[in-house]
């Protein structure tokens, strides 16, 4: 039977589609994996990092078998971090396996964990899939040493947390330790086998089944781990999910350019300056990551919020940790802190989410400057309640700008002069702290430009200008400032220098211990900061010979 034109073209299309599909399959089987590490463009990276950069604030969760001993072994407190107890107490693998076999968190409620993050204004959550003890919180097909196969609980914790994150709109991310005290090949020469046959399949499993938005590696300091392994693993994972974000601990963190990873991870500390790179401070609320009985060294809510604002002012993210107990319960103080942070974020959150670093970020310890992302507004965060007036000097509000205290409707009165800017805090907010719009850090919003400030004076002896100096008999003090036509005023008794202090005219001699303090002033510009310089007189220095000397004692000789 003759085929109609329609039938012919249908068959032709069918054949073409089949060929095309075969080619596609063939191509995907044979095409080289992409070297993301060296070929990703800045635009591609910007796009990939967007949700993380916007998020700013995340929850870290350290939870696992170590939550059971909670820092105690055989009735004794174990020194070191709670989640390190296997190592700290030298618990043999078989014995630790028995501890893990007891994990049965009857009060674990993923909705509760995730909603705590959500309430606090956090946008992502990073949970330990496997910490250094090697125990896995998901149903891994590569091992039986996981919460589903090894513990009475028998449920896939990661899956539950993941589903809850999806429900509540929180990005789901996973911590994974390369160091593994449980796996027999994770040490010494056999490490490459552990990497290929255990780590990689596990990470593939995590990416394909749990789709984490970010992977947070840890344990990179072990000698088995190399920069090459890091680069290879980075590309392997990015080929599995090109959009995934990976922290810098996938590499050794030894060099800047050659180290893989998308952002830096300072631990328990905050960068001291604005950084061009992405970075995230991870921090505990008390002294341990995992749950530790009796660890009551809690940071205050005020401190946690100051950290958050300080980090945002320098362009970083804040990953704040909780360590639930063995039953899955989050310590009550952590809950309170998160709720208080959330109340503050409900009012002031725009400084966090809409904030980016301004050209300078701080004025002393208690003021932080942050600008809005479109650069239209400047936020000034005051860590202390300013009482009657708020003073600041590094920006000048635009002439017609209003200044608002976030959370309070009326515009505030302000005036500017050579001394800086003075904002009047309304009387109705004075006195009773409950009248203030929030309980911590107060945020002022305005349109402003950087003020012209005089450069700090530089004080030196013999051309050296560190802040402490040792001299003999007498020394010559020199002062300079980079601002032309500025006058320097100084004191030598530790008091605050101002226009009425001694004016610096020429180098002068000092022959005693002193704290010299100086300020540079030029009319029409904002006064410089004060420079401090400590002079320490040592008269007997020439009695000593230069160099290092030592005396050797043997223990037995000391009896």
Least distance to ligand FHN from the beta carbon of 217, Å?
10
Based on CB atoms, which residue is closest to ligand FHN, 81 or 416? Answer: 81
User: Which residue stretch of 81-89, 157-165, 187-195, 510-518 sits at the interface with ligand FHN (rule: CB under 6 A)?
Assistant: 81-89
Q: Strand 317-322 relative to strand 411-412: parallel, antiparallel, unpaired?
A: unpaired
Distance CA 95, CA 86 (A): 9
Least distance to ligand FHN from the beta carbon of 155, Å?
23
Least distance to ligand FHN from the beta carbon of 62, Å?
6
Task: For the segment 368-397, give every residue that binds ligand FHN (CB under 6 A).
Answer: none
x/- letters, 140..159, toward ligand FHN (CB under 6 A): --------------------
Least distance to ligand FHN from the beta carbon of 216, Å?
8
Least distance to ligand FHN from the beta carbon of 205, Å?
21
Taking CB under 6 A as the rule, does residue 81 contact ligand FHN? yes
Least distance to ligand FHN from the beta carbon of 402, Å?
43
HSE at residue 455, side-chain half, CA atoms within 13 A, is: 9
x/- letters, 489..528, toward ligand FHN (CB under 6 A): ----------------------------------------
Task: For the segment 34-63, give every residue that binds ligand FHN (CB under 6 A).
Answer: 62
243: which DSSP letter? T
**How crowded is residue 33: how many other Cβ atoms within 10 Å of its Cβ?**
10
Question: How far, CA to CA in Å, does 154 sit from each of 143, 145, 522?
Answer: 14, 12, 72
Least distance to ligand FHN from the beta carbon of 83, Å?
5
Question: What residues have CB less than 8 Å from 405, skipping those under 6 apart?
Answer: 412, 425, 429, 437, 442, 443, 444
Residue 43: burial class (beta carbons within 10 Å; 0-12, 13-18, 19+): exposed
Least distance to ligand FHN from the beta carbon of 209, Å?
23
User: Which residue stretch of 77-85, 182-190, 371-379, 483-491 sits at the interface with ligand FHN (rule: CB under 6 A)?
Assistant: 77-85
Q: Among residues 235, 227, 224, which one has the least CA distance to residue 200?
A: 235
Q: Among residues 63, 82, 72, 99, which one has the least CA distance to residue 182?
A: 99
Residue 121 region, left (φ>0) first, then alpha (ψ -120 to 50), else beta? left
Taking CB under 6 A as the rule, does residue 248 contact ligand FHN? no
Q: Among residues 446, 443, 448, which one has the least CA distance to residue 346?
A: 443
Least distance to ligand FHN from the beta carbon of 81, Å?
5
Query: Which of 289, 377, 379, 408 is the binder for ligand FHN (CB under 6 A)?
Result: 289
Taking CB under 6 A as the rule, does residue 83 contact ligand FHN? yes
Q: Strand 214-218 relative to strand 171-177: parallel, antiparallel, unpaired?
A: parallel
Tokens of 538: 């040592």
Based on CB atoms, which residue is closest to ligand FHN, 62 or 393? Answer: 62
Q: Is 228 helix (H, G, I), strand (E, B) or coil?
A: helix
Least distance to ligand FHN from the beta carbon of 281, Å?
10
Longest dimension (CA), the chain: 118
532: which DSSP letter? E
Q: At what angle do helices 157-168 and 200-210 cross, to 10 degrees?
A: 40
Q: Among residues 162, 151, 148, which one has the least CA distance to residue 110?
A: 162
Task: For the segment 185-244, give every residue that binds ligand FHN (CB under 6 A).
Answer: 218
Least distance to ligand FHN from the beta carbon of 65, Å?
13
196: which DSSP letter? I
Based on CB atoms, which residue is closest to ligand FHN, 68 or 381? Answer: 68
Least distance to ligand FHN from the beta carbon of 284, Å?
8
Task: For the segment 396-425, give every residue that binds ligand FHN (CB under 6 A).
Answer: none
Least distance to ligand FHN from the beta carbon of 68, Å?
16
The owner of tokens 């994150």 is 165
User: Which residue stretch of 78-86, 107-115, 189-197, 403-411 sits at the interface with ligand FHN (rule: CB under 6 A)?
Assistant: 78-86
Query: In the bound complex, which residue of the shown chain has the CB atom lying closest to ligand FHN?
Result: 289
Tokens of 95: 């014995």
Contact criterion met (CB below 8 Å) for 59 and 123: no
Question: What residues have CB less than 8 Å from 395, skipping those under 6 apart?
Answer: 369, 378, 380, 421, 446, 448, 449, 450, 451
Task: For the segment 263-282, give every residue that binds ligand FHN (CB under 6 A).
Answer: 267, 282
Distance CA 72, CA 65 (A): 13
By CB under 6 A, the count of residues binding ligand FHN is 8
- In the sheet that holds 420-424, the strands lie side by side as 389-392, 420-424, 414-417
Binding residues (CB under 6 A) for ligand FHN: these are: 62, 81, 83-84, 218, 267, 282, 289
């Amino acid at each position: 039977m003759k085929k109609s034109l329609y039938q012919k073209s249908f068959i032709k299309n069918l054949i073409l589609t089949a060929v095309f599909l075969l080619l596609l399959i063939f191509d995907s089987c044979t095409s080289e994996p992409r070297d993301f590490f060296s070929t990703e463009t800045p635009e591609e990276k910007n796009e990939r990092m967007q949700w993380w950069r916007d998020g700013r604030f995340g929850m870290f969760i350290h939870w696992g078998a170590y939550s059971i001993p909670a820092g105690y072994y055989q009735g004794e407190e174990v020194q070191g971090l709670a989640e390190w107890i296997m190592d700290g107490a030298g618990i043999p693998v078989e014995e630790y396996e028995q501890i893990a076999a007891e994990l049965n968190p009857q009060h674990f409620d993923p909705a509760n964990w995730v909603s705590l993050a959500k309430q606090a204004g956090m946008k992502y959550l990073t949970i330990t899939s496997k910490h250094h003890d090697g125990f896995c919180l998901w149903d891994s097909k590569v091992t039986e040493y996981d919460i589903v196969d090894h513990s009475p609980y028998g449920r896939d914790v990661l899956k539950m947390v993941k589903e809850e994150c999806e429900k509540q709109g929180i990005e789901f991310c996973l911590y994974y330790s390369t160091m593994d005290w449980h796996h027999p090949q994770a040490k010494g020469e056999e490490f490459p086998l552990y990497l290929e046959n255990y780590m990689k399949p596990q990470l593939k499993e995590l990416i394909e089944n749990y789709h984490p938005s970010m992977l947070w590696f840890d344990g990179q300091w072990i000698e088995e781990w190399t920069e090459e392994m890091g680069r290879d693993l980075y590309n392997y994972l990015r080929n599995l999910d090109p959009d995934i974000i990976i922290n810098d601990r996938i590499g050794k963190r030894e060099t800047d350019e050659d180290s893989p990873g998308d952002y830096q991870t300072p631990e328990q500390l905050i960068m001291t300056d604005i950084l061009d790179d992405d970075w995230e401070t991870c921090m505990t609320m008390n002294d341990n990551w995992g749950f530790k009985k009796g660890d009551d060294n809690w940071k205050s809510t005020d401190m946690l919020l100051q950290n958050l604002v300080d980090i945002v002012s320098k362009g970083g993210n804040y990953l704040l940790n909780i360590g639930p107990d063995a039953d899955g319960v989050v310590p009550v103080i952590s809950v309170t802190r998160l709720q208080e942070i959330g109340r503050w974020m409900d009012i002031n959150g725009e400084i966090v989410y809409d904030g980016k670093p301004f050209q300078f970020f701080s004025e002393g310890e208690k003021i932080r400057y942050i600008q809005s992302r479109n650069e239209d507004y400047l936020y000034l965060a005051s860590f202390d309640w300013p009482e009657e007036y708020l003073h600041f000097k590094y920006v000048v509000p635009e002439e017609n700008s209003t200044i608002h205290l976030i959370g309070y409707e009326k515009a505030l009165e302000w005036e500017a002069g050579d001394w800086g800017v003075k904002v009047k805090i309304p009387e109705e907010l004075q006195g009773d702290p409950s009248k203030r719009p929030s309980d911590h850090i107060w945020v002022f919003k305005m349109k402003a430009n950087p003020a012209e400030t005089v450069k700090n004076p530089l004080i030196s002896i013999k051309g050296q200008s560190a802040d402490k100096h040792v001299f003999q008999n007498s020394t010559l003090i020199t002062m300079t400032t980079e601002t032309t036509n500025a006058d320097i005023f100084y004191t030598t008794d530790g008091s605050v220098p101002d226009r009425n202090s001694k004016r610096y005219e020429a180098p002068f001699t000092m022959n005693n211990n002193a704290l010299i303090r100086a300020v540079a002033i030029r009319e029409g510009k904002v006064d410089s900061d004060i420079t401090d310089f400590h002079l320490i007189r040592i008269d007997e220095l020439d009695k000593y010979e230069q160099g290092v000397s030592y005396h050797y004692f043997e223990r037995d000789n000391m009896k």
